[in-house]
């Protein structure tokens, strides 16, 4: 798989429809207007452990973005790679403080929320602590992160139509999938996070975000 497909010209995104990390990469690609080939990797079937996929991403995670012989196996790295390769429209502002804020919000999502309740962690909690215990754990981690982001955006007074202004930027790429999953899968009460709830409505009205939604992906179940 890694060698046979390396000669194709289009970028290839190895993705799982329900993965919030893959969701970020899809949004970034859509915002940049990049045509890409979707390659489904079914995490529930363990396809991320297939030897051919491990050649692409030894961490056995999605997403992975293949650009010729180059493979980027992390959603944050993918977003920055796309920003460098396709600078327009920009995902990062020129203002250093706003750029840092975008990175900070993205890092809270990518490092302070999502890894604490990925599939491996949830399975471990249910096995070692008890069936269903992972649900409470997930809610706690999301609420802790959302509280920090809500307060951060309000403190900085930076929110416009989107998280850090009137243009979609990196923070939005990371926030949109996390908020969507929190509402649809974890049933988080968003009334505690009015800014994030408003942003969710804006994302659902933006074509690049809508096209990236889990249910719109080719590997999503027909019943979803």
Which pLDDT score, from 0 to 100, does residue 35 have?
A: 96
Percent of the chain with pLDDT over 90: 77
DSSP single-letter state for residue 191:
G
* Residue range 48-88, pLDDT digits in tens: 999 999 999 999 999 999 999 999 999 999 999 999 999 99
Which pLDDT score, from 0 to 100, does residue 2 have?
A: 44
Number of H helices, E strands in the chain: 9, 4
- Average pLDDT taken over every residue of the chain: 90
Does residue 1 have a pLDDT over 50? no
Comparing 5 with 206, the larger pLDDT belongs to 206
Beta-bridge mates of residue 65: 13, 72
Comparing 158 with 13, the larger pLDDT belongs to 13
**N residues, the chain:** 224
DSSP, collapsed to helix, strand or coil, labels residue 33 as coil
User: Which residue, chain included where needed, has tokens 């859509």?
Assistant: 30
CA distance 166 to 89: 13
What does DSSP say about strands 11-15 and 36-40: parallel, antiparallel, or unpaired? parallel
What values do phi and psi take at 89, rounded to 5?
-75, 145
Domain 12-88, CATH class in plain words:
alpha beta
Say how many Å lie between the first and final Cα of the chain, rounded: 29
Comparing 45 with 2, the larger pLDDT belongs to 45
Domain limits, CATH 3.40.30.10, in the chain:
12-88
Mean pLDDT along residues 23-50: 97
* Residue range 150-185, pLDDT digits in tens: 999 988 877 799 999 999 999 999 999 999 999 998
Domain limits, CATH 1.20.1050.10, in the chain:
96-212
pTM of the model: 0.91
Cβ atoms of residues 43 and 119 within 8 Å? yes
CATH of 96-212, picked from 3.90.79.10, 1.10.3720.10, 3.40.50.920, 1.20.1050.10, is: 1.20.1050.10
């Amino acid at each position: 798989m890694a060698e046979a497909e390396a000669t194709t010209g289009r970028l290839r995104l190895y993705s799982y429809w329900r993965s919030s990390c893959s969701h970020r990469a899809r949004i970034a690609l859509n915002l940049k207007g990049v045509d890409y080939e979707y390659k489904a990797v079914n995490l529930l079937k363990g396809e991320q452990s297939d030897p051919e996929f491990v050649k692409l991403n030894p961490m056995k995670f999605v997403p992975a973005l293949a650009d010729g012989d180059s493979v980027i196996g992390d959603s944050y790295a993918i977003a920055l790679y796309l920003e460098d390769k396709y600078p327009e429209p920009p995902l990062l502002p020129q203002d250093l403080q706003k750029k840092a804020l975008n990175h900070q919000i993205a890092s809270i999502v990518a490092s302070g929320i999502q890894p604490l309740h990925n599939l491996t962690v949830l399975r471990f909690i249910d096995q070692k602590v008890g069936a269903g215990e992972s649900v409470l754990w997930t809610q706690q981690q999301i609420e802790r992160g959302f509280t920090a982001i809500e307060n951060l955006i309000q403190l900085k007074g930076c929110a416009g139509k989107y998280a850090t202004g009137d243009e979609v930027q990196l923070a939005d790429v990371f926030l949109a999938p996390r908020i969507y999953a929190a509402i649809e899968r974890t049933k988080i009460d968003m009334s505690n996070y009015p800014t994030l709830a408003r942003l969710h409505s804006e994302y659902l009205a933006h074509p690049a975000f809508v096209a990236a939604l889990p249910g719109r992906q080719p590997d999503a179940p027909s019943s979803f």
